[in-house]
């Protein structure tokens, strides 16, 4: 799903640059607050939010 970055907490990018993915929360009845946000196609930047977009932590993949 496209992530709009409406809060403006990530660097500005054209619409469609960011995509979000739900991180399952054991025992939750809803999607919960945890998400991975990727930037680029293919993704070149990765963020995690555990508080539903209030804060983001950038991370890298080990390949």
Nearest to 45 by CA among 11, 6, 1: 11
Q: Classify 32 as helix, strand or coil.
A: coil
Is pTM beyond 0.85 here? Answer: yes
* Confidence band of 3 (pLDDT split at 50, 70, 90): very high
Question: Topology of domain 1-63, per CATH?
Answer: Nuclear Transport Factor 2; Chain: A, (3.10.450)
Between CA 6 and CA 13 the distance in angstroms is 11
- Containing 46, the helix (H) or strand (E) segment is strand 45-49
Whether 6 shows a pLDDT value over 80: the answer reads: yes
Catalytic residue set = 20, 52
The yes-or-no verdict on residue 12 having pLDDT over 90 is yes
């Amino acid at each position: 799903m496209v992530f709009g970055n409406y809060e403006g907490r990530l660097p500005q990018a054209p619409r469609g640059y960011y995509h979000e993915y739900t991180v399952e929360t054991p025992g939750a009845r809803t999607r919960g607050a945890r998400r991975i946000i990727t930037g680029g196609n293919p993704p070149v930047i990765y963020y995690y939010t555990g508080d539903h977009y209030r804060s983001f932590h950038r991370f890298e993949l080990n390949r």
